[in-house]
Amino acid sequence: MAPRPVRASGSRHTPDDLVRLADLAGGPDEGTIQDRVARAIDFHLALVDASHNKLLIDLYRAISSVVAAGMSQATADPRLSDVGTREHEELLAAIAGGDGEQAAQAAGRHLAPLIDQVRARLATS
């Protein structure tokens, strides 16, 4: 999840947005990779929705299937149980606290392992 919409969500969210995010953030990381990725994508969509920025919302919805495919590929090892639950809870806490900058930093930490994985794959190909 990119820092910009997360930063906006920190200051623009509504109480209903927080309820939706909380419902999606705290679930167990169980099921197939596809199940876990679908829950993560739902959380990301709710996060962008909480920015109340129509352009960002439309953009993320347009690319969400590509993001899901990338997440599925990055977490193809079925022994991996975490596709972001801990990070989602950290993002939620920052947003609920109204701290857009802290939320943006949490989003950066959330993306770092995926970026590292992509870089490593590119370096070996």
Q: What is the spatial distance between Cα 90 and Cα 79, in angstroms, rounded to a whole number?
A: 23
Q: What is the pLDDT of residues 82-109, one digit of tens each?
A: 556 778 888 889 899 988 888 888 888 8
Q: What is the pLDDT of residues 2-57, one digit of tens each?
A: 677 788 888 889 999 999 999 888 765 677 778 888 888 899 899 999 999 999 99
Q: Provide, for the chain, the percentages of residues in helix, strand and coil under a 3-state DSSP scheme, each rounded to the nearest 5.
A: 75, 0, 25
DSSP H or E run through 63: helix 54-74
Sketch out the chain's domains with CATH numbers: 3-124 (1.20.120.530)
Kindly report whether the global pTM for this prediction surpasses the value 0.95. Answer: no
